[in-house]
Amino acid sequence: MTHSLHTFENGAALATALAGRVAEALKAAIAASDAASLAVSGGSTPKAFFEALSLEDLDWSKVSVTLVDERFVPEDHPRSNHLLVATHLLKNKAAEAEFVPLYAPEDSIEAAAAVATDAVSDLGTPLDVVILGMGSDGHTASFFPGGDNLEDALDLELPPRVITMQASGAGEPRLTLSFSSLADAGLLILHIEGEEKQAVLEKALAGEDEAEMPIRAVLSRAETPVDIYWAP
């Protein structure tokens, strides 16, 4: 699959441009079907983008926001992606958006994944906008090298769902949208910043082993061409 690389002078310029692009895609989805869905990633990279997006003028009451992946921790945990999104995105104009969490206070992570699968399926398919990040180990979403469910997570023949993932590089057990939930998004973005991530991207593009660098699955097999947003 093809991809396009968009480079910016700095993270602030990237955040402004990406927020505008995502806002236009959400407005188009609302115009077409009176609703829009947005799945975002966690980590340290998206904070400025979230802040810029929260100020975009659109009918946020018709937008459902969910996560590409989450740790199996409650929403007040400092490493919760829900907390990150609540702090940096679900405010200003975006305060009116509905949030669909992946975490649920179930006894097991498998039970939480089942609850989240039902909730995310209510958003319909395909998702309108998906924003992916990438770790320095080549993971994206919670598709970690060595992950216990990596093969299933990357299998496009399996139905869209929320899947559990444990890996030595992941810290807490994770909940992640499957690749089949992400691959056909209306707009599929990979947002990365810094020279280290640029080098990781170049390494990923130069090889084929998805178990070594799961981001390769997105770059080579996603149905939707990937728009890569990068700044130093």
Ligand X SMILES: O=C1O[C@H](COP(=O)(O)O)[C@@H](O)[C@H](O)[C@H]1O
Q: How far is the CB of 138 from ligand X (least distance, A)?
A: 11
How many other CB atoms are there within 10 angstroms of residue 199's CB atom?
11
Shortest distance (Å) from residue 83 CB to ligand X: 12
Applying CB under 6 A, does 173 fall inside the site for ligand X?
no
To ligand X, the closest distance from the beta carbon of 80 in angstroms equals 10
Give the x/- contact pattern for ligand X in 137-156, rule: CB under 6 A: -----x--------------
Q: Per-residue string for binding with ligand X, 112-131, x by CB under 6 A?
A: --------------------
**Smallest gap, in angstroms, from Cβ of residue 193 to ligand X?**
8
The answer to whether the beta carbons of residues 79 and 67 sit under 8 Å apart is no
Among positions 23, 30, 128, 133, the unique one binding ligand X when judged by CB under 6 A: 133
Q: How far apart are CA 77 and CA 80, in angstroms?
A: 5
106 φ, ψ to 5°? Answer: -90, 165
The minimum distance between CB 178 and ligand X, in angstroms, equals: 14
Within residues 79-108, the interface with ligand X by CB under 6 A covers 81
| Stretch 19-78 residues interacting with ligand X (CB under 6 A) | 41-45, 68-69
Name, in order, each residue with C-beta under 8 angstroms of 173's C-beta and a sequence gap of 6 or more.
71, 72, 109, 164, 165, 166
Among 67, 50, 56, 45, CA closest to 20: 56
Smallest distance from ligand X to CB 23, Å: 21
Q: In terms of CB distance, is 101 or 135 closer to ligand X?
A: 135
Per this entry, what is the length of the chain?
Answer: 232
Strands, sheet with 69-71, edge to edge from the N-terminal-most edge strand:
69-71, 174-177, 162-165
Strand partners, 226: 3, 188
Give the residue from 67, 47, 221, 230 showing the smallest Cα distance to 134: 230
Residue 107 DSSP one-character state = S
Considering only residues 174 to 213 of the shown chain, the ones binding ligand X according to CB under 6 A are: none
List of residues contacting ligand X (CB under 6 A):
41-45, 68-69, 81, 133-135, 142
